[in-house]
Structure 1
Amino acid sequence: MTSALNGLKVLDFSTLLPGPFATLYLADLGAEVIHVESPTRPDLVRLLPPYANGQATSHSYLNRNKQSVALDLKNPESIELIKQKISEYDIVVEQFRPGVMQRLGLDYQTLAEINPRLIYCSITGYGQSGSYKDKAGHDINYISLSGIAGHSGRKQSGPPPMGIQIADVAGGSLHAVIGILSAVIERQVSGQGQYIDISMTDCVVTMNNMAASASLAGEQHQQVENEHLNGGTFYDYYETQDGRYMSVGSLEPQFMAGLATALELPVLMAKGASFDADDRKEVKQAIAEKMKTQPFVYWQSLFSGLDVCVEPVLKLEEALDSQLAKERGWVVNVPLNENSEQTEPQLACPIKFSRSRLNYSFIGQKLGESEL
């Protein structure tokens, strides 16, 4: 079996998370990815603890299957070398602020004159145009401006700090992969490459999908603790006797009936679908009180055999060692290098093909281990 993206060659100038996670997908799917890094200013991901096998675990994962090339982009010789080699590449990914690659002489217009088939993707917080384009930002800022934080959380406590980078990954990384592969397909028809402008904020705002469609066309504006997503009904997290949590999403009638039976709460069937605020409060309070009568393992065992959309809230280490993780192959052991028998456990690529194989050749390389 060959990999799905076998034959594509990627030059990656990105750092930290959004760009590297995008090119990790491309590398896992079989593209040859060459990661260009500064020899004097290390990617901060290389410095983030914890460490395993002599380097940061985040770096080892995000740069899996990629060749590390150390080049000083302020050195004219490095720029000239890239221009000499650019005709060999299909895709460029960069994550600098707007204008930086142009000042270096590595912008799309310059490189496309050398290689008209080049697909060039820029990932930034706010895009290449508009009044925000030169502003700094982080994930928390992007989801704030997108409207997501504004209708998440509780009225009493406000928006919750998230445990993952939503805009960086779901906004920047995955939309970059979609854009790049779409351009690859289009190039098969036109024979031409093109430029892709990925704004993490632009992309993450589309994750409002259902709420935004209701707001734009239906003039139904979302509020914190709205009907389905944030606790307005009994769709919520419930604390157990020992301080753990269960997630309850039993909205459909058949699931609601199953939940009512399992919890022995007739009020749930009588008032669970009511639009009356007092009824909703009564139902939610009844579920909350019931959940606190038993420990986490009791509810986990009870609902494991029921199909009612109730699941335990797992800690990350529990999730990665769960039955589901094993059955679906969430974790893969990756060689330290192409000739090593020693491996490091990492998250697997979640895409599963009937024919094409995934690539797990080696963990992230040491700085400058390869040459351009």
Structure 2
Amino acid sequence: MYHTVHMFYKFDFHYYSAMYEVLSELSKTKKCRYFEEPKGSHQFHLLGDQGIKIILKRSTVVDEITYSAIEIIMNPMRLLDGNDYLQLADSAHFDQIRTSFKRALNDIRKKFRSKKRNKNLIFRFDLLDIYSFKRVDFAINISTEHVALYMKLIKRANIPDGFQLYTIYNSISKRSEPPRDSFYIFRKRFTKGKGASLELTVNCYNKGIQMLENGLPYHERAMTTIRFEIQCGYNKIYRIIRSKNLNKQGYSQFLREDISAEVLHTYFKKTVGYGDYYTISKAKELIMNTRLKLETRNNLIETIELVNDKRGIWKARETVDDKKRFDEHIKRLHDIGINPVTIPIAERIDYLPCLFDITNQI
């Protein structure tokens, strides 16, 4: 399942010029926002109320055109219902999405075909399967009455090697801090001569709070929803395409449940992990009752004590000299069903099941 996709379709200058003229005129007629960004990028919010942003891009290097394309950033569930900011798209929605996308671009298609200068140009931009992918946001919604406590624990999860914690500047504390209601980490890819690009982000957040902060319509179910989301950039998407023998174009293939499930499970395991949450005393008791060697049990107890003292796996990991050994202990704890992050006694709850429970998906 996913909630946002960033697609692109390359074309030549004739198509670029024709589409710019059409989109500009329609935007003016309908009084819709559009503007130019640096590096030859033009954004059109003509279909914003349907969850679609259209971008025309044209970049040059020493007077030579290197990239000319139309890009579509789309939330497919908002395409089906403009006020749906909660539900996620899957394969069952494909026919509706395809039909609604074609309908959404109807005015653009008519305007394009009405231009005499376009008589030799074919309008195909309302066909989803002509597009290639620049980014796909795979996601899952998980319903729980303990949203606040889960988020408190999740923010103490692991940060894998190569990832950085996303922070924002707090004008009150005068320092950069992670978002209050989310666990948000990212990984960049560095390419020689091109600098860094965002390759992948992991974001787990309180969906209800996120909607309120963005001024979105109130949704009762969102208030008991945690969203776990993996945003895959171009390089990650391209690796998925190669590993799954997919086509470079084709919208429907990324609605496949097996692909989204594999991506989500991989990064949930690397960050939050599959162990259940216990108080530290209960976790120690469970460890001592296993059939592991006494030395192993003592090592695992030392690990959860360190995580508890430092208030997080990633914070604890920063303090140890042998990170490989620490990672092995974290993995062993998850393997026996215990999350290294323990529930504070002040919460007055001694157990919470692993968040990634398929029965709680909505």
TM-score of the superposed pair, with normalisation by structure 1: 0.23
Whose relative contact order is higher, 1 or 2, with alpha carbons under 8 Å and at least 6 apart? 1
- Whichever structure has more strand as a proportion of its residues is 2
